[in-house]
Amino acid sequence: MTQIVRQSSRVTNRVIVTVVALATVLSAAGCDLRQRMYDQEKYEAHEATTFFKDGLTSRAPIEGTVARGGLRLDTHLYEGKVSGELATTLPPSIEFNRALLERGQQRYNIYCTPCHDRTGSGNGIVVQRGLKQPPSLHQDRLRNAAIGYYFDVITNGFGSMFSYASRIPVNDRWAVAAYIRALQFSQEAAYDELPAEDQRQLQ
| Site residues, another protein (CB under 8 A) | 1-2, 5, 37-40, 42, 44-46, 48, 54-56, 109-111, 114, 125-126, 129-132, 160, 162, 166-167
| Cβ-based nearer residue to another protein, 88 or 128 | 128
Q: How far is the CB of 157 from another protein (least distance, A)?
A: 9
User: Least distance from C-beta 140 to another protein, angstroms?
Assistant: 26
Min CB(190)–another protein separation in Å: 31
* 69 vs 130, beta carbon nearer another protein: 130
Q: Which is nearer to another protein, 15 or 110 (CB)?
A: 110
Angle at 53 between CA 49 and CA 55, to 5 degrees: 30
**With helix as H, strand as E and coil as C, how does 26-38 read?**
HHHHHHHHHHHHH
φ, ψ for residue 68, nearest 5 deg: -55, 130
- What length is written for the chain? 203
Extended beta strands in the chain, E state = 81-82, 85-86
Residue-wise burial string across 188-203, b where 16 or more C-beta atoms lie within 10 A, e elsewhere: eeeeeeeeeeeeeeee
Q: How far is the CB of 146 from another protein (least distance, A)?
A: 25
In the complex with another protein, which residue's Cβ is closer, 9 or 97?
9
We find the least distance from the C-beta atom of residue 13 to another protein, in angstroms, to be 15
Contact 72, 91 (CB under 8 A): no
Q: Which of residues 76 and 107 has its CB atom nearest to another protein in the complex?
A: 107
For residue 186, give the amino acid letter: S
Amino acid at 11: V
